[in-house]
Structure 1
Amino acid sequence: MIKNPKYVYGPVDRYVTASLNFGEFILNKIQENRDTVALINGSTHEQLTYGEIAQEAMNIAVSLRRMGIRKGDVVAVSSENRREFWSSVIGIICSGAIATTINIGYTNDELKHVMGIAKPKFIFLSPLAYKTHAKNYRALPYLKKIIIFGDERPTNTILYKDIAIPNSGGNNKKDGYRLTENIKYEEFQAADVDGENDTLFILYSSGTTGLPKGVVISHLNVITLCSPSTPIPPLRGLSITPWYHTMGLISNLASFTRGVSSVYLPKFDVDLYFKTVEKYQISQLTVVPAALIALCKSNLKYDTSSVLIIYCGAAPLYEETAKAVREKFPSVQALLQGYGMTETTLAITLNFNPDKIGSVGTVISHTIVKVVNPETREVLGPNQEGEICVKSVMVMKGYIGKDRKDDFDEEGFLRTGDIGYYDDDQYFYIVDRLKELIKYKAYQVPPAEIETVLLKHPSIREAGVVGIPHPTAGEVPLAFVALQPGVTLTEKEIQDFVAERLSNPKHLRGGVRFIDEVPKNQTGKILRRELRKIAKTRKSKL
Structure 2
Amino acid sequence: MLLNRLAIAQIDGATGETDTYYNLLRKCIRISINLLTRGITKDDIICLCTSNHFNSCVPIISGLFLGVKVAPLDPSLSLDDTTYILNQIRPRIIFVSTDVIEMIEEALEDVGVECEIVVFGFCYGFTEIEEFLEPVKNEAKFKPLPVTDVKETAIILFSSGTAGPSKGICLSHQALMIQFINTISYWNLGQKIYFSNCTKERSETGLMTAINFATYQWMPAVALLCCSILTATARIICKTFDSEVVWKLIDKYEFYKPGKPERVEGKSLKMLVTSGTALRKTDMLELRKLLPRCFITNAYIQNEASGLLTMFDVAKPVDIRDQYEEPTSCGKLIPGVTCKIIDPVTGKILGVNKAGELRYKADFIMNGYHKLDSSVALDSDGWIKTGDVGLYDEKHRFYVLDNLRDIFKWKCWHIVPSVLENVLKEHPAIKEAVVVGIPHVDENIGELAMGIVSLNKHMRRRVTEKDIENYANANLTKRQQLRGGLKIVRQIPLRPTGKPNREELIKLVFSEES
TM-score when scaled to structure 2?
0.89
Instruction: Give the counterpart of 2:259 among 256, 276, 298.
Output: 298
Which range moves more in the overlay, 301-310 or 204-213? Answer: 301-310
Contact 1:108 1:136 in 2 (8 A): yes
5+ residue gaps, structure 2, are: 191-206, 314-319
Deviation at 1:148, TM superposition (A): 1.0
The answer on 1:199 being equivalent to 2:199 is: no
Q: Which residue of 1 aligns with 2:139?
A: 183
Instruction: Give the counterpart of 2:475 among 498, 501, 508.
Output: 501
Contact 2:433 2:454 in 1 (8 A): yes
Which amino acid in structure 1 is aligned with residue 272 of structure 2? I
3-state secondary structure, aligned to 1:310 = strand
The answer on 1:492 being equivalent to 2:489 is: no
Cα distance in 2 between the residues matched to 1:508 and 1:307: 40
Which range moves more in the overlay, 101-110 or 263-272? Answer: 263-272
Contact 1:432 1:446 in 2 (8 A): yes
State the identity %: 25
Cα distance in 2 between the residues matched to 1:144 and 1:308: 44
Deviation at 1:299, TM superposition (A): 6.4
Deviation at 1:318, TM superposition (A): 1.2
Deviation at 1:93, TM superposition (A): 2.3
Cα distance in 2 between the residues matched to 1:165 and 1:140: 32
Contact 2:54 2:237 in 1 (8 A): no
Cα distance in 2 between the residues matched to 1:182 and 1:465: 60
Instruction: Give the counterpart of 1:475 among 447, 451, 469.
Output: 447
Contact 2:438 2:447 in 1 (8 A): yes
Deviation at 1:182, TM superposition (A): 6.2
Contact 2:119 2:127 in 1 (8 A): yes
Q: Which residue of 2 aligns with 1:309?
A: 271
Cα distance in 2 between the residues matched to 1:92 and 1:147: 15
3-state secondary structure, aligned to 1:368 = strand
Q: Which residue of 1 aligns with 2:80?
A: 109
Contact 1:242 1:522 in 2 (8 A): no
Deviation at 1:110, TM superposition (A): 0.7
Which amino acid in structure 1 is aligned with residue 381 of structure 2? E
Deviations 1:438-482 (A, max 9, x none): 211111111111111111112111112211212233211222211
Contact 2:98 2:123 in 1 (8 A): no
Which amino acid in structure 1 is aligned with residue 225 of structure 2? N
Which amino acid in structure 2 is aligned with residue 266 of structure 1? K
Q: Which residue of 1 aligns with 2:130?
A: 161
Taking the TM superposition and a 5 Å limit, the aligned residue runs for 1:67-146 are 67-146=38-117
Cα distance in 2 between the residues matched to 1:384 and 1:45: 49
Deviations 1:154-190 (A, max 9, x none): 31x2211212222xxxxxxxxxxxx3x4611xx3222
Cα distance in 1 between the residues matched to 2:260 and 2:65: 47
Deviation at 1:363, TM superposition (A): 0.5
Contact 1:118 1:202 in 2 (8 A): no
Q: 1:337 to 1:278 in 2, by over 3 A?
A: same
The answer on 1:442 being equivalent to 2:412 is: yes
Deviation at 1:139, TM superposition (A): 4.5
Contact 1:55 1:182 in 2 (8 A): no
Deviation at 1:108, TM superposition (A): 1.0
Q: Which residue of 2 aligns with 1:208?
A: 162
Cα distance in 1 between the residues matched to 2:426 and 2:348: 36
Q: Which residue of 1 aligns with 2:289?
A: 327
Cα distance in 2 between the residues matched to 1:159 and 1:139: 23
3-state secondary structure, aligned to 1:226 = helix
Q: Which residue of 2 aligns with 1:458?
A: 428
Cα distance in 2 between the residues matched to 1:66 and 1:280: 40
Cα distance in 2 between the residues matched to 1:517 and 1:299: 24
Q: Which residue of 2 aligns with 1:175?
A: none
Q: Which residue of 1 aligns with 2:303?
A: 342
Cα distance in 2 between the residues matched to 1:419 and 1:455: 20
Instruction: Give the counterpart of 1:251 among 224, 245, 265.
Output: 224
Deviation at 1:132, TM superposition (A): 4.3
Cα distance in 2 between the residues matched to 1:50 and 1:182: 19
TM-score when scaled to structure 1?
0.84
Q: 1:131 to 1:402 in 2, by over 3 A?
A: closer
Deviation at 1:278, TM superposition (A): 2.5
3-state secondary structure, aligned to 1:91 = helix
Cα distance in 1 between the residues matched to 2:395 and 2:335: 17
Taking the TM superposition and a 5 Å limit, the aligned residue runs for 1:350-499 are 350-352=311-313, 353=320, 354-355=323-324, 356-472=326-442, 473-487=445-459, 488-499=462-473
Instruction: Give the counterpart of 1:236 among 198, 209, 222.
Output: 209
Cα distance in 1 between the residues matched to 2:475 and 2:494: 26
Q: Which residue of 1 aligns with 2:503?
A: 529
Cα distance in 1 between the residues matched to 2:109 and 2:138: 31
| Count of residue pairs brought into register by the alignment | 481
Q: 1:48 to 1:319 in 2, by over 3 A?
A: same
3-state secondary structure, aligned to 2:112 = coil
Instruction: Give the counterpart of 2:494 among 490, 498, 520.
Output: 520
Contact 1:204 1:212 in 2 (8 A): yes
3-state secondary structure, aligned to 2:428 = coil
5+ residue gaps, structure 1, are: 1-29, 167-178, 282-291
Cα distance in 2 between the residues matched to 1:349 and 1:419: 14
Cα distance in 2 between the residues matched to 1:97 and 1:126: 21
Contact 1:460 1:483 in 2 (8 A): yes
Deviations 1:56-86 (A, max 9, x none): 1111111101101011200101100011111
Which amino acid in structure 2 is aligned with residue 298 of structure 1? G
Deviation at 1:307, TM superposition (A): 2.4
Cα distance in 1 between the residues matched to 2:103 and 2:112: 19
Which amino acid in structure 2 is aligned with residue 311 of structure 1? V
Deviation at 1:414, TM superposition (A): 0.6
Deviation at 1:494, TM superposition (A): 1.0
Cα distance in 1 between the residues matched to 2:162 and 2:302: 12
Cα distance in 2 between the residues matched to 1:525 and 1:237: 24
3-state secondary structure, aligned to 1:257 = helix
Cα distance in 1 between the residues matched to 2:404 and 2:244: 37
Contact 1:437 1:444 in 2 (8 A): yes
Deviations 1:212-263 (A, max 9, x none): 1111111111111112385643542222222332221223222221111122
Which range moves more in the overlay, 216-225 or 266-275? Answer: 266-275
